[in-house]
Structure 1
């Protein structure tokens, strides 16, 4: 029996993977996912997005059958049990980062996600970065922001000095740069897509060797290293394919659907 025949679960990144450039899941892809579900495969999505954003882009008939990993693993929902996993950044470290950004007058680069609510110090960050933020933030004071349990700290187009400061915490936090370095995502140290998927799979008695992951950016690397099969999209960032077992077409070529159709036909 080859490794593909051992697969019991499928994990999909969203942007650049399951979603095309119009931020939609094609009809063909939806049908293929339902076919996988009907064959008894466990379906997961693993994304940097918050829950509210995922509900906007994933059809409800698909979402009701998947377990979801949000914020790169900091907040998760198990659709079978209805349970959640919630991991936050230590308040002492979050406060240091917030204080530093405020002292540098870069409040228009900073926001925090906490249990599906976006918080910020100024609405300017939303006006300047709607591509990343989707909804206006809840505006709070600096003291209030520092006290909020943060699943994720986001820094969008911050200065090189601030980036260097954030990176000084790399031994204490999980820090991921995406969107060609435009977006810095900060989570608790042991938070990752892989750790979250592993925790959810453990509940279903599924080994990570029995998981196939699809992705296109560096925040998928931990999944690629942890899963039995990893599939890099044709549009993946340069270099990611070196860590993948195999490749699929691009997200605009319905690469996920085409790959799974071939796999299911064997």
Structure 2
């Protein structure tokens, strides 16, 4: 492993990592982030969330100092405000939507498209408010299939639906989080790691000089791609095996603990 002095960029997952169990950013962690930025380290957020909820959760002073990866890599914004968007094949999205409706699971499906949430009914919002900040725009199944989808999201879908989706693994990136409760579906080769790599290339930062912090399986690709990786104390069981080290939980300022030890003390 390279010297810690070689680290030039820091990447943070949001839920379960930067944010505590109450979805708050502690003052200690906020100060550690800002001080690292003042030292010249590039800061990145990499999350499954859409832009609107990240903006609602993080203070504006943090948002001004980070580049952001949303939808597990399907939508990105750099420090200059430039965005990149990657969508699922319309034909494949239409097949999945048809299958979901055939299985009468339309109340478990939503689509994210460049910070707009779409669904077939309000039931998906009523049943999953902890994952959604705003009610969706309601459209018909035909209209839904025509929307460029950065991400399809299924909440507690049946094994039959999940099996059907897995038939498209050669053309899709499929990630389970929240102990299998959520199924995130993006275009093939879309991941937090691919998005961070692209953003870092623009800054001439090699991935070996990047440190990633995370707690769930959609952070695994980052752990493998970055030179350093830190699993939270509350991480999904087994994730720490692919991490450089483990820190405290998100409720004990685990991120700040590492930043202070590495760069600030």
Pairwise TM-score range, normalised by the shorter structure? over 0.9
Question: Can you give the 5+ residue segments of structure 1 that lack an aligned partner in the other structure?
Answer: none
In structure 2, what is the equivalent of residue 192 of structure 1?
A: 191
* Structure 2 residue 38 is the aligned partner of structure 1 residue 45: no
TM alignment of 1:97-246, pairs within 5 A: 97-246=96-245
Contact map agreement 1:3 1:228 (CA 8 A) in 2 = no
Question: Can you give the 5+ residue segments of structure 2 that lack an aligned partner in the other structure?
Answer: none
Count of residues in correspondence between the two structures? 265
Measured against aligned partners, the alpha-carbon deviations of 1:5-24 in whole angstroms (never above 9, x if no partner) come to: 10000000000000000101
Residue 3 (structure 1) shift = 2.7
Q: How far apart in 1 are the matches of 2:22 and 2:109?
A: 26
SS, match of residue 95 in structure 1: helix
* Structure 2 residue 20 is the aligned partner of structure 1 residue 16: no
In structure 2, what is the equivalent of residue 75 of structure 1?
A: 75
In structure 2, what is the equivalent of residue 263 of structure 1?
A: 262
Q: 1:25 to 1:117 in 2, by over 3 A?
A: same
> Displaced runs of 4+ in structure 1, greater than 2 A?
none
Measured against aligned partners, the alpha-carbon deviations of 1:209-265 in whole angstroms (never above 9, x if no partner) come to: 010000000000000000000000011000000000111110000000011001114
RMSD: 1.0
Residue 42 (structure 1) shift = 0.2
SS, match of residue 118 in structure 2: strand
Q: How far apart in 1 are the matches of 2:139 and 2:264?
A: 53
TM-score, structure 2 length as denominator?
A: 0.98
Residue 2 (structure 1) shift = 4.1
Q: How far apart in 1 are the matches of 2:257 and 2:103?
A: 48
Q: How far apart in 1 are the matches of 2:34 and 2:133?
A: 27
In structure 2, what is the equivalent of residue 58 of structure 1?
A: 58
Q: 1:259 to 1:100 in 2, by over 3 A?
A: same
Contact map agreement 1:76 1:85 (CA 8 A) in 2 = yes
